[in-house]
Amino acid sequence: MSNFHAIWCDHRESSETHDDILPYCYKQIHGVKLAATDADKFPPGMWVYAISAAHPDALTSGVKTENDQQFDGIEMVTEHHDGTGWSERKFRLTSDAARSLAAALIRAADIQQGLTR
């Protein structure tokens, strides 16, 4: 049987389709805790996903999503809990931008911990 998911898609093994809420292939990579602000009732978090526009046959709707190139790259999702419920915000960036950001994060962390200037 054909499998229309990206080779690394979390749905590839089950062959489940992607519904309209998340109409693209994705793989959850890693999550980190974020520093809580005064508005946070629980520790906020950020999750990182690899994402890719999905073949129509990998979608529950069976129809290619409009402007689906917006799903090609990396997605970061922040989750905050304000006491009544979780809210999330998504940030999407190209893989090149993600590498650049990762390098900047490492450099900033090295500077902050005195490992380099």
CB of 5 or CB of 80, closer to Zn ion: 5
- Comparing CB distances to Zn ion, the nearer of 13 and 38 is 13
Is residue 63 within 8 A of residue 35, CB to CB? The reply is no
9 binds Zn ion (CB under 5 A): yes
5 binds Zn ion (CB under 5 A): yes
How many whole angstroms separate alpha carbon 78 and alpha carbon 43? Answer: 11
Residues in 55-74 that interact with Zn ion by CB under 5 A: 58
Side chain identity at residue 19, one-letter code: D
When asked if residue 11 is in the footprint of Zn ion (CB under 5 A), the reply is yes
